[in-house]
Amino acid sequence: MSIAKTAGLANIIAGSTVICTVGKEGKGLSYRGYSIEDLSSHACFEEVAYLLLYGELPDQETLNQYKNKLQANRQLPKKLKTVLQALPKSSHPMDVLRTATSTLGCIEPELAFTQQHDIADRLLAIYPSMLLYWYHYHYSNKEIETDSNHDNIAGHFLQLLKGETASDLETKVMDISLTLYAEHEFNASTFAARVAASTLSDFYSAVTSAIGTLRGPLHGGANEAAMELIKQFDDVSIVVRKLEDMLSRKEKIMGFGHRVYSIGDPRSPIIKECSRNLSKETHNESIFSISEAIENKMWSDKKLFPNLDFYSASAYYFMNIPIPLYTPIFVCSRITGWAAHIIEQREHNALIRPGAEYTGPDVRAFVPMDQR
């Protein structure tokens, strides 16, 4: 048997899926056959979530019923509130979501796989409540109500965060952002979820595995790092010189290039236009100009294109979203993709257990303690 020697399983086919196509012709992305361009332009995030979880786009009546179901699932159990209050203010928000997911799995356990769609919908509905209840309890010294008058997750999230209704543009951009982050085939966190699901573990354990994987800075967190980078530049005039200094020191510039896409990330132009529009609405066009200057320099020097994370950073910044919440927003979106893959894995399950090439010492004689 030949061993494929490749870093991080790159270019290794680890399974089949009907959920998502990534990287066709070096750039394409589709969810169940629908292009990301069409979905982000014409569908709301709840339509996309339904598509991923149930296989087809909903008609209007079905969409209304689905939104009502999600609205009814936003409330936090009292025991979960107690846990969120007990978690330290210093906790990483991703750790909060990981712990809250495990806690909910104890309070509302999966007793049979027939519950999996209801659990997926419950997590989709409750993640903004989990995150922002904890955030406001520790950073605003108040216990917020986790319901709102919004029937969409984007507006609901922003209202819980801000305590007031966001602008129409902010709500639209957040909705598009959730669609763009919803699914991306066998990425690290999704694969982790499928590995856990392949053992016939419960739904919450598979999702918790995914959150723990997304927490790593080489997977999630690039949008946070991108914003920290952008904030280092006071003016567009210093971008070229300072970026050259950083590149000469071989510093990693987050938000550029992609493991799968070779030509460009199809999501990037979409979120870039969103960021541009928000910069105009908030009269903060210098941040956008700096971002664009960084993009131009990275392309001219390294031929690296911005990925989704780069302009998502400034889009979130223009909406006054705290930087530590950027990756948790990823969770609020990607739960749809994770859940779809967990369900798919269970439908045609085989334990995921790859082999490894051993590169250690040959068989050795045991050395007694007094001879070591």
Instruction: Give the residue numbers annotated as catalytic, written as ranges.
Output: 219, 258, 309
Q: Return the structure tokens found at 191.
A: 């694969």
**Phi-psi category of residue 34: left, alpha or beta, with phi > 0 → left and psi -120 to 50 → alpha:** beta
Q: Return the structure tokens found at 76.
A: 């936090």
DSSP letters for 171-186: HHHHHHHHHHHS--SS
56 contact partners, CB below 8 Å, separation of at least 6? 32, 50
Residue 238: count of CB within 10 angstroms of its CB: 13
Buried b (16+ CB within 10 A) or exposed e, 272-299: bebbbbbbeebeeeebbebbbbbbebbe
113 contact partners, CB below 8 Å, separation of at least 6? 346
Where helices occur in the chain by DSSP H, the ranges are: 36-42, 45-54, 60-71, 78-86, 93-107, 116-139, 153-162, 168-181, 188-198, 203-214, 222-230, 239-248, 268-281, 285-302, 308-318, 326-347
Tell which residue, 352, 338, 346, has the closest CA to residue 19.
338
Bridge partners of residue 256, in order along the sequence: 306
Give how far the C-alpha of residue 44 lies from the chain's centroid of Cα atoms, to the nearest Å: 17
**Positions of E strands within the chain:** 20-22, 29-31, 34-35
Q: Return the structure tokens found at 319.
A: 């909406």
Position of tokens 């394409």?
Answer: 28
**How far is Cα 205 from Cα 22, in angstroms, rounded to an integer?**
26
Bridge partners of residue 187, in order along the sequence: none
**How far is Cα 139 from Cα 128, in angstroms, rounded to an integer?**
16
Asked if 121 and 93 count as a contact pair (C-beta separation under 8 A), the reply is: no
Sheet containing strand 29-31, edge to edge, reads: 20-22, 29-31, 34-35
